[in-house]
Amino acid sequence: MTTTPGTENPRTGPGLDVLALVCLIFIASSLRPAASSLGPVLAEVQAAFGLAEWQTGLLTALPGLIFAGCGFLAVPLLRRAGLFASLALSCALIAVGIGARVLVDSSLAFSVLTVTALAGMSLGNVILPVFVKTRFPHRTHLGATTFTVSLGLGAMFPAFLTAPLAEHFDDWRVGLGAWVLVPLAALASWIVLRAAGSVPVLPRPSRDPQQAPAPRRHIHSTAKARYMAMFFGLQSVNAYVQFGWLPQIYRDAGLDPVAAGVMLTIVTLGGLPGGFLAPQIIMRGLAPRFFLVSFSVSAVAGYLGLLLAPASAPVLWAVLLSYGGFAFPAALALITSRTRAVSITARTSAFVQSTGYILAALGPLAVGALLGVSGSWTPPLILLIVVSALMGLTGYLSAAPGTVDDELAEAG
């Protein structure tokens, strides 16, 4: 049995390890459906609640806004409540938000319940990498790959199936509400894993006298963490604009709703090969700077295609954006590979994701505002081209050798 220093040994074994991976799959898969399921039925939601363009833009910006605000609460929650209770709360909030928002008739209630789901997702975004590092300390490649692939699945299936479900039942509420099953399954499997004694227990700092004192400097004082936050934020701008607006871009170009949902599915499908390949590239040091820049170049090409000829080769543009989306699992892998101590991983995860999502929140808002002012997709797409180019630059800087721990130690 192996464990990470500073944690109480969880029970392990072939069966329990499989169960832990199942939990990881379900919880990680719960961290995207509330966001990625909305885009395919955005027009229907907008019509049902009579939303103006700026209100729709605000709705699509909620993931970034909530992830930024609630992400900072994850580490204090983890310290006070522990790993089990923190992730259990995450799953419960997601389930309540997704399940209840389709039952209401006002835009305000819909937004509040969406915020509830996104708050749970935000906590899980930050805390789940700590579970990966503590439960699979000597198999981090397996844990990181399972994590990122499952995130991709959680984005892909809602993007692909929400519109067909809504069309089949002639009700967009069914298409959105079906995804409550994922966090419910996550919560159930997490409780079973706890009952089996296989959830790591993180000790309180005051009860761990052998633990090295935390570095005096804040994570944001290190250049590497700042570059990682900018890279994470810029790739998140792309991701959440795509979740919220890409199907509408294709629909305005002449594609029907199901075909537009398929284009988003192709984009999110990149989460599967990206989830397998990006962690290996980053954690094994396989020319990471080259690949991070290549993700940027591909995204720029995809947006140029949507700008110049969106309906002429829609699948090609979606494929290019899909490869550009490899930046997301790469950004998560950077958090794990560029930190060593569990406490630094947690703090870096909170800083990078919360700060990055502040940038991400501005993307859908800017797209909605530009669309409302211009009545054209040209200004938003030009903005996304610039964002993708900057993503390549910050990715190149983020992937430089060294760790956040090293920079903190040098300053200390």
DSSP letters, 79-136, are: HHHHHHHHHHHHHHHHHHHHHHHTT--SHHHHHHHHHHHHHHHHHHHHHHHHHHHHHS
14-203+215-411: which CATH architecture?
Answer: Up-down Bundle (1.20)
Section 128-134 average pLDDT = 86
Indicate the pLDDT class of residue 204, thresholds 50, 70 and 90: low
**Which of 51-60, 68-77, 390-399 bottoms out in mean pLDDT, i.e. has the lowest?**
51-60
DSSP 8-state secondary structure symbol assigned to residue 399 = T
- Say what percent of the chain tops pLDDT 70: 93
How big is the CA angle at 282 (ends 233 and 410), to the nearest 5 degrees? 80
pTM confidence score: 0.75
Q: What pLDDT, on a 0 to 100 scale, did the predictor assign at position 412?
A: 60
Give φ, ψ of 353 to 5 degrees.
-75, -45
Q: How far is CA 402 from the centre of its chain?
A: 24
* Domain ranges (residues) in the chain: 14-203+215-411
Rg (CA), the chain: 20
- The percent helix, strand, coil of the chain (3-state, each to 5) is 80, 0, 20
CA-closest candidate to residue 288, choices 239, 336, 237: 336
Query: Quick one: tokens of 280?
Result: 């290996």
- Which residue type, as a one-letter code, is found at position 95? A
The long-range contacts involving 191-198, CB below 8 angstroms and separated by at least 24 positions, are 191/88, 192/19, 193/16, 193/19, 193/20, 193/23, 194/84, 196/11, 196/16, 196/19, 197/10, 197/11, 198/10, 198/11, 198/12, 198/16, 198/19, 198/20, 198/135
Q: Which residue has the higher pLDDT, 13 or 381?
A: 381
